[in-house]
């Protein structure tokens, strides 16, 4: 937005700090390996409803396959059931084939934009943070997606879990510079 | 048909549909499947506090809020219209283990004895809900993603760092479920 204004009115007195903030936006977001979802298209906000539809399908599967069940997660980590391994394994295989096909045939998005993949870089966070995440996963019986679905099944106290997760993320952002990466 | 949908779905059906989320989001708008990023966007939107990590235009990631909103609605649909009337079937050994800690309610996706507002004021309930949530939020961001971003999206793209992260997730989970959780549940 600010960038556009700048182009239209180059002599406008936009403070340098603001311009700088706008220009480093991509770099800041890509500090996180997962966080860059860039589309050059400027769509009205309600175009996002199509992602809500994908979410609805996902939410139904989550509940019907009991993926969001605290009990299923306990079974998984106690090696008492194949169910969760089957779900994740199948999802990864289907995902791998899909990504391979998209790359091979250079498939574009429905708006004709090229689909971009960015290689992730290894850092110690994936091990240390990964183990910390795993500890939380077995406690709450849910990774972030299922937390939202658990609320939908009527476990309203999970809203507290989500608020706590946001607090955890904020704390990470606050201490980020001091943590080993 | 509806009767069939009401039964618990098998792992291969669920896995295949979850796997198809990856190309669906890519084709719809170049979006990479990753849910824990929402916690970061929530921080950026509500409490950026001048922390560089949260100073970005979170509105570009608005789609992800719609996505998790959809997950919540999907869960409401599944647990009302397509609800399975029978209690969840779990491994008999787990039933025995959990009953020793007073957990024997299988009517919901989560054990009601642990996941209630009353439980929040018990030591074990507080550790599990508030502590567990904190670890999920802190750990997923430190690792750069969660099970969706690393284990599904990252592995689909054959990323080695995602494999390392996934192994670490599992390691943490095994330690918690087998070594620490028995102590926490007996508090």
The pTM (predicted TM-score) of the whole model is: 0.89
Which chain B residue shows the shortest CA-CA distance from A1? B57
pLDDT tens column, B101-155: 999 999 999 999 999 999 999 999 999 999 999 999 999 999 999 999 999 999 9
The model's confidence at residue A36, banded by pLDDT at 50, 70 and 90, is low
**Residue ranges in chain A assigned as alpha helix (H):** 2-8, 16-23, 25-29, 49-64, 70-77, 83-104, 125-140, 144-152, 158-175
The model's confidence at residue B4, banded by pLDDT at 50, 70 and 90, is confident
What would the two tokens of residue A156 be? Answer: 């309203």
A143 CB neighbours in chain B (<8 A) are 35-36, 136, 140, 146-148
The model's confidence at residue A37, banded by pLDDT at 50, 70 and 90, is low
* Residue A26 confidence (pLDDT): 67
Q: Report whether B41 contacts B56 (CB < 8 A).
A: no
Position A161 pLDDT exceeds 80: yes
* Residue A29 confidence (pLDDT): 67
* Residue A38 confidence (pLDDT): 60
CA distance B44 to chain A (A): 9
Position A20 pLDDT exceeds 70: no
pLDDT tens column, B47-67: 999 998 998 888 888 999 999
* Rounded-to-integer distance, Cα B88 and Cα B76, Å: 17
Q: Is A3 on the interface with B (CB under 8 A)?
A: no
Residue B80 CB partners (closer than 8 Å, separation 6+): none
Q: Report whether A87 contacts B152 (CB < 8 A).
A: no
The model's confidence at residue A132, banded by pLDDT at 50, 70 and 90, is very high
Position A119 pLDDT exceeds 90: no
pLDDT tens column, A48-71: 999 999 999 999 999 999 999 999
Q: What is the mean pLDDT of residues B13-25?
A: 96
Position B181 pLDDT exceeds 60: yes
* Residue A25 confidence (pLDDT): 67
Mean pLDDT of chain B: 94
The model's confidence at residue A120, banded by pLDDT at 50, 70 and 90, is confident
Point out the residue among A55, A64, A90 whose CB comes nearest to the CB of B15: A90
CB contact under 8 A, A165 and B39: yes
- DSSP state letters, B75-137: HHHHHHTT---SPPP--HHHHHHHHTTT----SSSS-TTTSSTTGGGSHHHHIIIIIHHHHHH
Mean pLDDT of chain A: 84
Which candidate, B100, B96, B129, places its Cα nearest to that of B112?
B129
* Residue B5 confidence (pLDDT): 87
B184 CB neighbours in chain A (<8 A) are 139
CB contact under 8 A, A172 and B176: no
Distances (CA, A) of B166 to B124, B148, B150: 27, 10, 7
């Amino acid at each position: 937005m600010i960038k556009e204004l700048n182009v239209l009115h180059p002599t406008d007195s936009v403070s340098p700090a603001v311009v700088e903030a706008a220009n480093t936006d991509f770099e800041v977001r890509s500090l996180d390996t997962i966080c860059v979802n860039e589309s050059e298209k400027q769509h009205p906000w309600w175009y996002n409803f199509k992602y809500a539809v994908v979410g609805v399908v996902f939410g139904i599967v989550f509940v019907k396959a009991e993926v969001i069940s605290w009990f299923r997660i306990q079974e998984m980590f106690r090696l008492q059931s194949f169910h969760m391994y089957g779900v994740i394994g199948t999802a990864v295989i289907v995902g791998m084939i899909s990504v391979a096909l998209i790359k091979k045939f250079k498939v574009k998005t429905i708006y004709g934009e090229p689909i971009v993949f960015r290689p992730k870089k290894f850092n110690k966070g994936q091990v240390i943070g990964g183990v910390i995440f795993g500890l939380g996963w077995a406690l709450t019986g849910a990774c972030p997606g299922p937390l939202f679905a658990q609320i939908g099944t009527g476990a309203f106290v999970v809203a507290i879990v989500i608020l706590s997760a946001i607090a955890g993320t904020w704390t990470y952002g606050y201490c980020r510079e001091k943590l080993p990466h | 048909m509806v009767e069939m949908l009401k039964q618990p779905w098998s792992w291969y059906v669920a896995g295949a549909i979850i796997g198809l989320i990856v190309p669906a989001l890519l084709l719809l708008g170049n979006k990479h499947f990753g849910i824990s990023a929402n916690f970061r966007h929530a921080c950026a939107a509500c409490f950026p506090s001048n922390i560089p990590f949260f100073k970005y235009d979170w509105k570009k990631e608005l789609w992800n809020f719609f996505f998790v909103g959809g997950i919540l609605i999907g869960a409401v649909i599944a647990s009302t219209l397509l609800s399975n009337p029978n209690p969840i079937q779990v491994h008999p050994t787990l039933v025995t283990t959990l009953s020793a800690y007073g957990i024997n309610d299988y009517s919901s996706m989560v054990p009601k004895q642990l996941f209630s507002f009353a439980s929040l004021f018990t030591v074990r309930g507080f550790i599990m809900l508030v502590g567990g949530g904190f670890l999920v939020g802190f750990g997923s961001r430190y690792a750069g993603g969660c099970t969706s971003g690393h284990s599904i999206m990252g592995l689909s793209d054959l990323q080695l760092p995602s494999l390392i992260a996934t192994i670490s997730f599992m390691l943490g989970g095994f330690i918690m479920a087998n070594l620490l959780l028995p102590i926490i549940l007996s508090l």
